[in-house]
Amino acid sequence: MAYREVTSVSWFERIKRSVGGVVVGLMLIVGMVVLLFWNEGRAVTSARSLAEGAGLVVTVGIDAIDAAREGTLVHVTGPVETTHRPADREFGIETAGLRLVRHAEMYQWIESSKSETVTKVGGGQETVTTYTYAMDWSDSAEDSSRFKEPQGHQNPPMEVSGRSFQVPEASLGAFRLGERVIGMIGGAETLSLSADQADAIQQAVGAGMKATVSNDRIYLGFDPMQPRIGDYRISYEVVPLGPVSIVGRQAGAGFEPFQTQAGDALLLVDAGTHSAEQMFSDAMTSNTIITWIVRVVGILFLIVGFSLIMAPLGVLGDVIPFIGSLVRMGTGIIAGVLGVLVGTATIALAWFWYRPLTALIILAIGAAIAYGITRLGRKKQAGDVTPAAAPPVQPA
């Protein structure tokens, strides 16, 4: 089942839109330059804060709280315990653990679209968009009133959504963990649901909808094998009780972020048993990964920004579609080069601003390598032009 829509845009309208895109492109370039510069500062601050914390942290036991360590950066590890049980009362699910996470999906109509655009002689464009509709599971509500063809594809409102249920407190030996620390503990696992729980679930749901348990999911509907529009399937994850490792400022019987002189506040929480060295090493690695992700994304959006600025040239050339394609290919290459140059220049400038000593060392190393390559090249050239020895003089 598909719906086709044909739209046309004149050459003059395309020019107007592309000129508007120039403004967006300029804003994008400025925004990405600011983002890349800020990212280098963030990375330096995080690295220095982690290095400072790694030099200050002290591992302490959990059997008793040492009042002398109040306000200092400490590392603890051990099993977490709690007298509470996370529960989803709406469906009668309760289990041992720290946090229960509900994932809900509804069977509904989903709209997909595919467009094909043709540029005509004179610069106008015609776009053919094909909308298709299929029934599938989705964890977000699809608003059928916004469909291009809502007739026959109506979705009911999604009344069951995902939620998280967390215990209010827990203990780590003599220490007490608040909701903030508990919320940072990961390691969620799939919660197994058995058919024996079906009666309790049905009682919690009520007689308005049939509840079935299969494959660790709750199905709300007539038949799980033949779902209908408006049926639900619900699954759970649980963060189990177990060992946890924490680095933070000892505050009474709990933990708070530790403010470093470098600028960041440190509070590291990992599921499992980890040494302080490993936790700081992992945090350093995460900082590096985030830094490179932001760098790559920033440069890509710089390329997009320059492409938008030069887009009017391609539109002007589209009076003859072949010429427009050539112009667009050339501007794409130029946008790529400019995006990379501006991005790397911004990062280099940020290095001089935030890490001048490191930048100078790198420049000195680069200059030394360049000088060495130049010397080797000159020696090789001198060896290639050495005059040949004179032939021996023959006796008379």
What pLDDT is stored for residue 209 in this prediction? Answer: 80
The label of the residue with tokens 């667009």 reads 328
Assess if residue 82 is contained within a domain. Answer: no
What pLDDT is stored for residue 345 in this prediction? Answer: 85
For residue 80, the one-letter residue type is: V
Bridge partners (DSSP) of residue 175 are: 172
Q: Which two tokens stand for residue 121?
A: 């002689």
Assess if residue 34 is contained within a domain. Answer: yes
* CA contacts within 13 A on the Cβ side of 49: 21
What pLDDT is stored for residue 122 in this prediction? Answer: 81
Measured torsion, CA atoms of residues 262, 360, 341, 38, in degrees rounded to the nearest 10: 10
Assess if residue 77 is contained within a domain. Answer: no
**Mean pLDDT, the chain, integer:** 89
| Tens digits of residue pLDDT in 88-126 | 999 999 999 999 999 999 999 999 999 988 888 887 888
Q: What residues contact residue 230 under an 8 Å CB cut-off, 6+ apart?
A: 106, 107, 108, 155, 156, 221
Assess if residue 328 is contained within a domain. Answer: yes
| Tens digits of residue pLDDT in 124-138 | 888 899 999 999 999
pLDDT higher for 290 or 3? 290
Q: How far is CA 106 from CA 8, 133, 201, in A?
A: 36, 16, 18
Domain range enclosing 22: 11-68+273-384
Name the domain count of the chain.
1
What whole-number distance in Å separates Cα of residue 342 and Cα of residue 17? 25
What pLDDT is stored for residue 248 in this prediction? Answer: 97
Closest CA to 100 of 110, 112, 88, 91: 88
Q: Which helix (H) or strand (E) holds 88?
A: strand 87-88
Assess if residue 136 is contained within a domain. Answer: no
What pLDDT is stored for residue 396 in this prediction? Answer: 42
Is the confidence at residue 363, as pLDDT, over 70? Answer: no
Q: What are the φ and ψ backbone dihedral angles of 346, each rounded to 5 degrees?
A: -65, -45
What pLDDT is stored for residue 114 in this prediction? Answer: 92
Q: Which two tokens stand for residue 103?
A: 């994932």
Assess if residue 296 is contained within a domain. Answer: yes
Q: What residues contact residue 42 under an 8 Å CB cut-off, 6+ apart?
A: 291
Judge contact between 58 and 69, C-beta under 8 A. yes
What whole-number distance in Å separates Cα of residue 12 and Cα of residue 279? 59
The label of the residue with tokens 């799980």 reads 224
Closest CA to 4 of 89, 114, 100, 166: 114
Assess if residue 186 is contained within a domain. Answer: no
Q: Which helix (H) or strand (E) holds 317?
A: helix 276-317
Judge contact between 128 and 16, C-beta under 8 A. no
For residue 329, the one-letter residue type is: M
Q: What residues contact residue 46 under an 8 Å CB cut-off, 6+ apart?
A: 264, 287
Assess if residue 122 is contained within a domain. Answer: no
Q: Report pTM.
A: 0.81
| Tens digits of residue pLDDT in 322-354 | 888 888 888 888 898 889 888 888 888 888 888
